[in-house]
Structure 1
Amino acid sequence: MAQREVILSIEMSKARDSLLVLGSAWATLISGVSVAKLQRIVAEAEYIMERENQRFVPPKQAPFYKNYSSEQIEKVSDIGGVSMYVPGFLPWSR
């Protein structure tokens, strides 16, 4: 009976150890993949902020419109409002 308890406790400790090792390896892998994807997102956001900032010029009704330079406003002067891009096959676009 005592030998059976020893064997069971050894098996249980092996299972716990395996769970801890594999669990920590899995958590490390998942966090590494998540950080890598977030770095790509941050890099893309920085690229947009540096090279495509004309997309952020607000309409003239915005209270901070005067803070943008005339060059930035000029880049988007030919872009219409969102309502101009509604597909023509929809009934409310006519």
Structure 2
Amino acid sequence: MRSALAQMAMSKNIDSNLQKSLDFCDKAKDCDLLFFPEIQLSPFFPQYEKSDVTEYAMNTNSSEIIKLAEKAKGNSFYLSPNIYLEQDGKFIFFFTLLPDR
């Protein structure tokens, strides 16, 4: 199994961070599994207590998650994103493998 780790500086712009993530997917196209850093589509906000970060919350149908899943499928590898997810009114860190099929 060939794995890859993406190291990236995240900005406050979700679209910019998504594009960096998709570019890393293309660079790692020959691997079997690609890992991303914590909260890859937003700045690392857990260090700032009591900050309102709801603008970075996504749901499982968010276009950003769909694009990452499509990229994993297109490159035939597994992807391990780390995303701030709103689910049933609760906020969690989404860390799972997106299947390549």
TM-score range, shorter chain: under 0.3
Q: Per chain length, whose mean CA-contact separation is higher, i.e. which structure has more relative contact order (CA < 8 Å, sep 6+)?
A: 2
Name the TM-score, length of structure 2 as normaliser: 0.22
Structure with the bigger percentage of helix: 1
Considering fraction of residues, name the structure with more strand: 2
